[in-house]
Every structure is written in structure tokens, then in C-alpha cells.
Amino acid sequence: MGAANEHFDAVVVGGRCAGAASATALAQRGLRVLVVDAARFPSDTVSTHLLWPTTMAEIQALGALPAVEEIGAPRMPLAEAVLDDIGWRTTYSPVSGIDYAMCVRRTHLDHALVTVARAAGAEIRERCTATDLVFDDGRVAGLCYTDDDDQTHEVRAPVVIGADGRKSVVARLVGVTAPTLVAPSGRACYYAYWSDTREDLRHIASQWRVGSLLGTAFPCDGGDLLSLLQPPVHLAPEFRGRRAQEAYRRGVEALPGLARRLDGCELVSRVRSCTGIESYFRQSSGPGWALPGDAGHFKDPVTAQGIRDALRYGRLLGEAIAPILGARDGADRDALDRATATWAAQRERDCIEVYQWTNFLASGAPPSPLEYELYRQAQTQPDFAAVLSDIYNRVQPPAAMMPVTTLLGAVTHALRRPGVSVRDVGADLRSQQKRMVADWLEKRRFLRSDAADAHPAISQPASRLPQVV
């Protein structure tokens, strides 16, 4: 044990997106913040790292935009989605003046965020592993960690922020690893980097779908391109071990648009995987602790919302508790706990609909008749294509995709298509109705439930929903 305990206003476990955001927000307000992370930055982590304009706006809010821009990833002001041979392109609505996406490797993104947090005044201790929490009368009051020399240290603080990912040590130590809401994904995730020879296409974030297979191309820093494959989970055995690269290449070839995009490009990395994916909410606040980022809430990567939410709710957590921690007479424990509970409840309200929408997009089901009609509508109506990109950009809610008038028009057009049966369209409509009712009931139960309930509510299996970029 260290010779003397240190005292901070806040201790943050994990220095990547959520942790760096919380630490920056607190340090910018004059508080003494310690961040401990097992990594040494710069370092990589499993992530597909597409940053929508709303994500770039969060980076800007932290004061990190210049550092992230300097990394050199291209700006992507266009989004593209193609279902079979039906495709559309559109721009993004600006968020805080930013109307472009970027794709920045986590090695460089996280390093930039940590550098900004350190410049704001946060103390960053790398290669330090959290081992235990300090409790005082049932309340979290500090952290124990080991450093790179295997020395154990104890630090005290009114709040410990667990921004340490899906396998959060803090979540385990406070007993909230069991989610309050959970849904298994119908897709697996595989990605790799390619040298990108298509300078004429490096301003477009693209997605292709054929049957149940989904693939993307996101130009990133270093002159490369990130290409993601999300096959349905039953194909995951084909990607195991040494077969991963061969299966990945077969997946690329099964998506003609993606194969054309990568023609002339060279695979320059190994294929990385993320399988057994579950989207979830966990109880994210309690006496003396809070869980921003994936530690408290995670969504399947198919909608690329994780970094945005980690940054946003990490920042909002810091902003919410800073006045309490900085009070002249010391932090009021009850006020601190109310603030973290309010913050956690707000994230649940803000994210539940996107969570449900993501789960349906991650179902791995083949496209339905109504999906084809929505793609056709987006192809011919730029305003509707803009709605679809705005949903991913969190400017509009998922419900904006298919209001009653759009649904009725899609049904009418689907029934006129050769080879489309009334039975198929009727089944699709029933599926949509069932989905909307199930979503409403799930949302109602979840937002009314006791936040301390340790028993997971299992989401219903995902039915088919129109999928876009």
C-alpha cells in the first residue's frame, strides 16, 4: 500500500472516450481529477470508430476538435446506402455547425482525448489497474489500484466514475453487471483496414446490404479505409481462427458494391472480430459512483452510436456533478447521488428508442418488401434520404423514418411490384405492428422500473425494420 492516501474531487477508471470526457469536463471547472487506465496511450481497442456529425460536435464541445482534425482522417459530408442495386446518397444536417462525419482510429482518437483531458488539468496515470473500491458506511469512497511496478495505491474521492467498458471492474464491484435491459444481437462483427486508392470516394461513408449480409466502407486516417462486415450470427463459425480472413474476403465478394469499392485496394491488417454481442442498459449510478460509456450502456455497432454516447454522457456527467464537488463547504453526498441518478435517468430516456431501433437493425433478417420501398423512396426523394441520415445523426428520432403516410405509400407501391405477394406485404405489416407495440411496452416498463432492479428484462427477438446507413 502507498505511504499515504491521496485525495481527489473525482476518480475516473478508464481514460478513453467516456472517461476522458468526464475528466475533461470536471478539470475544466477547476476540480482535481485522477484518471487511471491499464493502457499506455496511444493504444488501440476493438472499435469500428465511425464518428457522425453529432459525434464530432461532442468532440468540439470538449475542446478536442483541432487535435482530432490534425490526425488527418478525411471529412465525409456524404452518406450512402445501397440495398441490392437500390441506392441513395445524402448530406447531413449540421450539428453545432458540423456537417461531416469522420472515421478515426482509436489509437489516435483516444490519445487526442487523453491529451486534451491532461491539458485541462486532469492527472492521467497509465498502466494502472483498478483492483478494488474503498467503501465507507456502504458508500463508494475511493479506489485501490496497482501501478506498473505492481505497487498498490489507495485514493479517496467523493465519487468514482467507472468508464471502463463492457467488462467494467467498477460495475462488478458495486454489483450491477446484470443488465436492467438486454437484447442479444442477430449479427456478428468483423472488420479490417485496407489501403485506399480511391481518392475520389474518400468523402463518402458507405453501406451495402445483400440479403442478410451488411458491409461498410469508411475512409479513415493514414490513407486507409475501414471495412466492416456484419453477417448473421449463424455464419460466425465460418470466421473462426485461421479461416477468418478467407471468410471475410468471401463476405466482401458477396457484396458487389463493396467489392467494387475495394477493387485495387490492399488488405493491410488482420481481421478483428466482435461476437456474442449484447446491447444493454445497466444501473448506472449509486452512492458515490456512476457508469458512463459502455460500462453502463452499450448498443450493437450497426448504428455506430457508442462513441457519441460515451462522449456526450461522459461530458454531461462531469458537468452535472462539478458544482456539487466544487462546493465551498465540501461535496453534499445526497446532492451528489441525486445528480448522478438524474443523469443516469436522462440517458435512459434519451437512448431507449435508439437502443430499440439498433436492436432491430441488428436482427440479421433479410430485407422485407417495405424495406425495398423505403430505399426506392430515398433514391428518388432527397428529403426522405436526408431524414434517414438524420436518424443516424441523432437529429431526428427513429420514428421519423416511417410515419403513417410513408408506410401507406410503401404498402401501395409494394403491392404493385411484380413478384411481391399480398401475403408477404401483410406479414410485413403485422411484423411492423407487433414491433411498435412491443417497443412501446418495453419502453414503458423500462422507464418506470426501479433503477436498482438487478434482474434483466430480455428484449423481444428483433423483427424486420428498414435498414439504412
The predicted-structure confidence for 153-175, as pLDDT tens digits, reads as follows: 999 999 999 999 999 999 999 99
Checking if the pLDDT of 452 tops 60, the result is no
Give 465's pLDDT tier (boundaries 50, 70, 90).
very low
What span, in angstroms and rounded, lies between the C-alpha atoms of 244 and 253? 14
> What does the pLDDT look like over 389-433, one tens digit per residue?
999 999 999 999 988 899 899 999 999 999 999 999 999 999 989
- In 151-203, DSSP assigns E strands to 152-156, 160-162, 181-184, 189-195
Mean pLDDT of the chain: 94
Q: Which residue ranges form the domains of the chain, and what is each CATH number?
A: 6-74+105-183+278-357 (3.50.50.60), 184-274 (3.30.9.100), 365-458 (no CATH)
pTM, to two decimals: 0.94
- Over residues 101-140, the pLDDT tens digits come to 999 999 999 999 999 999 999 999 999 999 999 999 999 9
Q: Are 50 and 218 in contact (CB under 8 A)?
A: yes
Containing 37, the helix (H) or strand (E) segment is strand 33-37
How many Å apart are CA 365 and CA 427, to the nearest integer?
Answer: 14
Residue whose C-alpha cell reads 448473421 in the numeric block: 232
pLDDT surpassing 70 at residue 237: yes
What ranges in 41-200 are assigned the alpha helix state H?
Answer: 53-61, 65-69, 106-120, 169-174
Task: Report the C-alpha gap between 238 and 381 in whole angstroms.
Answer: 39
Helix, strand or coil, per DSSP, at residue 94:
coil
Residue range 297-318, pLDDT digits in tens: 999 999 999 999 999 999 999 9
